[in-house]
Structure formats: C-alpha cells, structure tokens
Structure 1
Amino acid sequence: MNFLYIIAGLILLVVGGNWLLKSALGISSRLKISKIIVGLTVVSFATSLPELIVSVKAALDGYPDIAIGNVVGSNIRNIGLVLGVVLLINAIQINKTFFTIDWPTKMIASVVLFVFLITDGKLSRIEGFILIALLIVFLIYLIKQNKKIDVAIPELDEDAISYMKVFGFLALGGFALWAGSDLLVKGAVNLADNLGVSKRVIAVTVVSIGTSIPELASSVIASIKKENDISIGNIIGSNIFNILSVLGITSIIKPIEQIDAQIMSQDIYWMLGFGFILLPLVLLPKKHTLGFKEGIILLITYFVFIYFTII
C-alpha cells in the first residue's frame, strides 16, 4: 500500500507539474520571453514546484528530514543523474553565462544553505527570507544581463495557448501537485517506518527521484531537440530555485528544525561536491564542452552517492 501511495503521488506530481509547465510556457510564449530567461526562471520554477509542494507539506506535517532531504537529494540528482543522462544523448557547448551567472549563483546558493545548516542545524524563518531575497537579486541581475546580450534567440516552439487553457492548466496542476504531495509524503513516512530506515534515506532517494522527474523529462526533451540553452539552464536553474525558492518559502511557512545529522554530515557535502565538479569538467580536458565522457563520470559518481546513502 505504501508503494501504491508513492507511485500515485509521483504520477500526480508529474502530471500536475506538466500542466503547470504548460501554463507557464503558454504565458512565456505570449510575452515573447527569451529561451535563456525561460530556462533559468519559468521552466526552472515550474519544474521545481513538486519539490516545493512536497517540502512544504512535509514541514507542515512535522517531517523536516523529508523537507530538506528532498531538496538536497534533488540537487544532487539534477547534476549526477539528469545532466549525466542528457550528456549521453547530446554534448553541450557551454557559453559564458555558465561562468558569469549560472555556476557562481548555484555555488553561492549552495554555500549559503551549507552555512545556515552547519551554524545551528536548522532553517529559520529569517533565513528563509534571506534565501528569497537572494532569489529576487538573482532574477533582477539575470534579466538585466539578458538585455545586454546582443544575440538573436529563436522563438519558443510551444504554440500560444488561450488564457482559458492557461488558467485551466494552472488550476488542475495545482490540485494534482497538492494531492500528489499528500500521498507521496504519507507513503514515504510509512515506508521508512516499515523498512526501519531513517526518513532522510527515503527523502534523498525515493522522494527526490520522483520530484526530479520533471527536470529529467524537460531536460532530455530539450537535449534531443538540441536546445542546449534550455537543457543546461533548466538543470542549473532548478538547483538554484530548489534552494532559494523551495527552502526559502518552506522555512518561511514552517521553520525546518531537528534535521537528521547525516544530512549535515554527508548529504550537504555531496551536494556541494556535485556543484563544484561541474567547473573542472567544463574546463578539462576540452574547454567549454560537456560530452559523453563527462556524462559517464557524473552517473558513476551519482550511483556511488546512492550506494553510500543506503548502506
């Protein structure tokens, strides 16, 4: 029954996230927003909604390990699994925004989260507001920088949809996400209890796998279409949003306290490591390129993380 709860919850999360993504892309298409901004903001926020809803639900229900483990596990999975799979499909040429915006912002967000957790072992409401403030600064900087880029960016492929459909997708997606999060959290908690493992293990494996499905699907599709701006932007942008918006909003609604010690002694370091490893992979051995070999390295490293998590 617990597996049925988890599967049903994941299905609702994926469907709900897809409906919300369609709604967001419909609005973006009408507003003629560039692919760079869509990849780092609209798509990233929409695909981070499952993490947000699940983390908020878990925090409100009194399961801080699921709330924080879901985000940390998803960020590890986005780089190790999602980017790894994308690179097996199609090599990515890295442009200068990776060095000036994407990677630095991702690492700043990760380090800030690390400092908050290591300092007192919790995320307070004030720290949540700080994370949201950093997100706003990031978005403002991103939009200003994008205006300075003198490059013709192709239009979005998605056809413009009516506002009626936009709000229909929004309503259905929101309901599906909330129902899915309720089933997923209930199933994850019961599964951890039945297996005799910590909720942190279930959170960074089972839960984060499910909530990362939208990132995997959208990034793989973008890679197949050779839309590299969206595929790499979506992956890194989602990690930024997971920390700044998901944990920011969650801790504002309900401070995250009494976090599993292993999240702070192991998982958070894995998250920092997966973020840092991108830089040498981009620079060596071939500059500004991520390809098949780098994908294999990321996937192997990710499965090593999973092995040390479950043993």
Structure 2
Amino acid sequence: MSILLVVLGFVLLVVGGEYLVRSSVALSFKFNISKMVIGMTVVSFATSVPELLVSLQAALSGSPAIAINNVVGSNIANIGLVLGVTAMVGSIAVDKSFYKLNWPVMMLFSVALYFFLRNDSKLSPLEGAILFAGLILFLLVLIRNIKKDNNVEEVDESLAIVSNFKIIMWLVIGGLSLYFGSDWLVIGAKDIAISIGVSEAVIGISLIAIGTSVPELAASVIAAAKQEKAISLGNLIGSNIFNIGSVLGLTAIVKTIPVTEPSILKSDIFWMLGFSAVLLPMIFIGKKMQISRAKGFLLVFAYGIFMFLVFTNGKF
C-alpha cells in the first residue's frame, strides 16, 4: 500500500505540475506579461511547486528531515543524475554566464543554507525570508541580463489563445493533483522508511529526490537523443537556486524547519556542496566550456557512490 501511495503520488505530481505550468503560462499571456518574464519567473516557479508542496507537507506533518533532504537530494540529483546522464547522451555546451553569475549564486545559496542550518540546527522564518528575497534579487538580475543580451526564453505561444474556462480547469486539475500527490507521497515515503528500517532523511534524499527529478531527466534525455537543445547548465543551476530560495525559503516562512537528522549536517549537505563546487573546475578540464560524455559518466559514477553510501550506512 505504501509503494502504491508513492507511485500515485509521483504520477499526480507530474500531472499536476504539467497542468500548473500550462495554466500559469496561459494566464500570464492573458495579463500581457512578456514571454521573457514568463520563461524566467512564471515557468520556473510553477515547475518548483511539486517540490514546494512536498517539503511543506513534510514540514507540517512532522517530518522536517524529508523537507530538507528533498531539496538537498534534488540538488544533488540535478547535477549527478540529470546533468550526468544527459551529458552521456550528448555533450552539453557551457556559456560564460555559468561562471560569471549562475555558479557563484548557486554556491552562495548553498553555503548560506549550510550556515543557517549549522548555526542553530533549524531554518527559521527570518532565514527563509532572506533566502526567498535573495531568489527575487537573482531573478531581477537574470531578467536585466536577458534584456541586455536580447535572449528570450522559449515559451509555448499556442497557450496565448487558450480559453478562460480551459485555464480554470487546468488550475483545478493541477491544484488537486499537486495537493493529493504531495500528501500521498509523504505518507507513503514515511511508511516505507519505517518498514525497511531507514531514516526519513534517507528516503527524502533518495526516493523522493530522484522521483521529483525524473520528469526533468526524461525530458532532457529525450531532447538530447533527438539532438535538440537538451538542457543548459544554466537551467539546472537555476533549478538548484530555486529549490533553496523558493522551496526551503517559503516552507521556512510558513513553519520553522528543524534539523532532526544529524546526517543532514554531517554529510548530506557536504555532498550537495561538493557536487556544486566540482562543476567549476570540470568545465575547464579537458574539453573547455563543455560537459563531455566522459565528465557526465564521472558525475553519474559519483552519484552512484553517494546513493550506495546512503543506503549501506543508513544515515551517511
């Protein structure tokens, strides 16, 4: 029954996330918001709502370890699994904005999260507000840079002519799917953790984190296989920043997130910092400004080691 709840939870999160993105973009067109702003803010926020609801549901239901490790695990999976596997399918080009803006900001958010948690073993509403304010500032800088470079995010323009009734239906379907999906996923994950004798932190950083990264992984691999623009390193870095600033930031504003599992501060967050930090030297080694297949393999291999240690040590 627990496995069924987890599977149904993931399915509903994928369905709900898709309908929420569609309705958000369509609604934004109704308000004459530019494609560039829609791509950078509306879509980014909408795609993070599943993770946000899972973390919020976990924090409110007394499972803060799932809330924190959902984000930490997702950030590790975005680099080790999603970026690694996608690079193995087809090399990924890296532009200068990676080391000029995206990577430094990701490291700043990651280090800030570490010190906030290390300071008093909790993420308070004030600290959450600081992270969320930092995210808003980052988005404003991104929008200004895009205007300067005249580079517009790709947005499905067919959504501009969707009827109001269809938008409302999408919002209802998306909202209900996300609500029940996050609820069932957290309940099922907690039951599985108890039944197999591991901590909720382990389930949060593995099962839930991978599950919320599967849609992005599938889309990236399919696009890479078709030799289309698969996924930019900047987008993945942006996702990691959004996870900390939005998902944990907003969750902490609603309810203080205490650190209940020592593994979060002893090792998990250091893995996140390590995967993030290694990207900078990696783009300058071998084929410069490129994540090659070999580098992708190394990322996936390192992720495999991480997952092995998570389950063999229980609380590594």
TM-score clears 0.5: yes
* Mean CA deviation greater in 199-208 or 233-242: 233-242
The alpha carbon displacement at 1:171 in A equals 2.4
Tell me which residue corresponds to 2:294: 293
Relative to structure 1, the CA distance from residue 235 to residue 42 in structure 2 (aligned partners, 3 Å threshold; closer, same or farther) is: farther
1:51 lines up with 2:51 in the alignment: yes
Tell me which residue corresponds to 1:82: 82
**How far apart, CA to CA, are the structure 1 residues paired with 2:153 and 2:103?**
24
1:169-188 mapped onto 2 (5 Å cutoff)? 169-188=170-189
Tell me which residue corresponds to 2:158: 159
* Mean CA deviation greater in 54-63 or 26-35: 26-35
Give structure 2 stretches of 5+ with no counterpart: none
1:272-283 mapped onto 2 (5 Å cutoff)? 272-283=273-284
SS at match of 2:123: coil
* Mean CA deviation greater in 3-12 or 20-29: 20-29
Relative to structure 1, the CA distance from residue 158 to residue 33 in structure 2 (aligned partners, 3 Å threshold; closer, same or farther) is: closer
* RMSD between aligned residues: 2.1
The alpha carbon displacement at 1:12 in A equals 0.5
* Mean CA deviation greater in 260-269 or 161-170: 161-170
**How far apart, CA to CA, are the structure 1 residues paired with 2:12 and 2:61?**
19
Give the TM-score normalised by structure 1: 0.92
* Mean CA deviation greater in 161-170 or 278-287: 161-170
Letter in 2 for 1:100: K
Tell me which residue corresponds to 2:98: 98
**How far apart, CA to CA, are the structure 1 residues paired with 2:288 and 2:49?**
34
The alpha carbon displacement at 1:105 in A equals 1.2
* Mean CA deviation greater in 162-171 or 239-248: 162-171
1:33 lines up with 2:51 in the alignment: no
**How far apart, CA to CA, are the structure 2 residues paired with 1:222 and 1:125?**
39
Relative to structure 1, the CA distance from residue 300 to residue 121 in structure 2 (aligned partners, 3 Å threshold; closer, same or farther) is: same
The alpha carbon displacement at 1:31 in A equals 4.3
Letter in 2 for 1:248: G
Contact kept, 8 Å, 1:19 with 1:172, in 2: the verdict is: yes
Relative to structure 1, the CA distance from residue 159 to residue 117 in structure 2 (aligned partners, 3 Å threshold; closer, same or farther) is: same
Contact kept, 8 Å, 1:77 with 1:302, in 2: the verdict is: yes
Give structure 1 stretches of 5+ with no counterpart: none
Relative to structure 1, the CA distance from residue 28 to residue 78 in structure 2 (aligned partners, 3 Å threshold; closer, same or farther) is: farther
* Mean CA deviation greater in 156-165 or 189-198: 156-165
The alpha carbon displacement at 1:122 in A equals 0.8
**How far apart, CA to CA, are the structure 2 residues paired with 1:28 and 1:288?**
35
The alpha carbon displacement at 1:291 in A equals 1.7
